[in-house]
Amino acid sequence: MEKIRTAAVQMAMRCQVEDNIYQAECLVRRAAAEGANIILLPELFETKYFCQERNYNYYKLARTLDENMAVRRFRDVARSLGVVIPVSFFERDGNNTYNTVAVIDADGTVLGIYRKTHIPDDQFYQEKFYFTPGDTGFKVWKTRFGTIGVGICWDQWFPECARSMALMGADILLYPTAIGSEPILDVDSMPHWRRVMQGHAAANITPVVAANRVGKEMVFPCAENNQQSSSLTFYGSSFITDASGELLSSADRTAETVIYGDIDLEAVRELRMSWGLFRDRRPGMYGAITRQHG
């Protein structure tokens, strides 16, 4: 048996970067004390969700991988606790800015980065204003506790992302997230949000971990945002599935908390082989996936 414990951190964001890093570290340390080996934090946890508004001042938040405060801090934390921590951050690389995850192994080494492939542009989720579409392609990393693949928020709605990482050998799929109320659509997207990722787990026979933020975040009118006034309520509901998509644990919509899921990687690999889903694939028949459609 090759058993590991995964954890998803659910938290509300403070106004100051230092305060968010401190709170995230407290929750990571709680997870490690409970035996977690792989600990997932939410998307862009260093700040409130600045993509709710268009404001050129927020470009100043972007940092290189080496400069970013959270990456630097959690390299030390990962090393001291012996845990794997994917860290979501706003990356600057030359003249481009990206929504990026740095994957930190249990010895504090940055194994590499993944840049968000699918960039949303919706009312108050205005990420195309800030982020260049990722150029890394989908990736997986061999960590001390298995091979992980990481997609970022909007990526989680695309089955191609999950399948690509599974084909590359991911034992677990992780999705740091910032999602909440829909400002235009009269819908509660939370159940749909969960089900799409539960489907990824079931279709690929690969456990899924999703970590979301909570709390109401307000935007107040100012000259820099063209007098916008708005709010988003992030609905938490972080969860962890087994390889069939069944929920192992889930959080509520409001609490700052840590949830856990125990996974036997050897058993999952055997189950994946026994189902034959990858054996029976017909890639030559899937041309419609890569063709442009109106």
pLDDT digits (tens, 9 = 90+) for 20-67: 999 999 999 999 999 999 999 999 999 999 999 999 999 999 999 999
176-232 pLDDT, tens digit each: 999 999 888 889 999 999 999 999 999 999 999 999 999 999 999 999 999 999 999
Q: What pLDDT is stored for residue 274 in this prediction?
A: 97
Handedness of CA 133, 134, 138, 143 (dihedral sign): negative
Q: Which of 25, 46, 53, 153 is catalytic?
A: 153
Among 1-10, 91-100, 156-165, whose mean pLDDT is lowest?
A: 1-10
Closest CA to 52 of 133, 154, 120: 120
Q: Which residues pair with 102 in a beta bridge?
A: 87, 113
Determine contact, residues 99/114, Cβ cutoff 8 Å: no
Q: Which residues pair with 240 in a beta bridge?
A: 209, 249
217: Cβ contacts below 8 Å, ≥ 6 apart: 13, 48, 49, 52, 231, 232, 233, 234
102-148 pLDDT, tens digit each: 999 999 999 999 999 999 998 899 999 999 999 999 999 999 999 99
Closest CA to 80 of 47, 45, 139, 39: 39
Q: Which of 25, 43, 91, 127 is catalytic?
A: 43
220-259 pLDDT, tens digit each: 999 999 999 999 999 999 999 999 999 999 999 999 999 9
Say yes or no to pLDDT of 152 above 90. yes
Determine contact, residues 236/212, Cβ cutoff 8 Å: yes
CA distance 246 to 267: 15
The SS3 of residue 269 is helix
Q: What pLDDT is stored for residue 1 in this prediction?
A: 56
Catalytic site residue 182?
A: no
Closest CA to 140 of 169, 117, 161: 169
157-180 pLDDT, tens digit each: 999 999 999 999 999 999 999 999
The SS3 of residue 149 is strand
Q: Running DSSP on this structure, what letter comes out for residue 250?
A: E
Stated pTM of the model: 0.97
Q: Which of 25, 48, 116, 139 is catalytic?
A: 116
Say yes or no to pLDDT of 11 above 90. yes
Catalytic site residue 116?
A: yes
What's the chain's length in residues?
294
Closest CA to 7 of 255, 199, 201, 248: 248
Q: What pLDDT is stored for residue 294 in this prediction?
A: 66
Q: Which residues pair with 239 in a beta bridge?
A: 210, 250
The pair of three-digit structure tokens given for residue 232, joined into one six-digit string: 């988003």
Q: For 288, list phi and psi in degrees, rounded to 5.
A: -60, -25
CA distance 91 to 86: 14
CA distance 152 to 74: 18
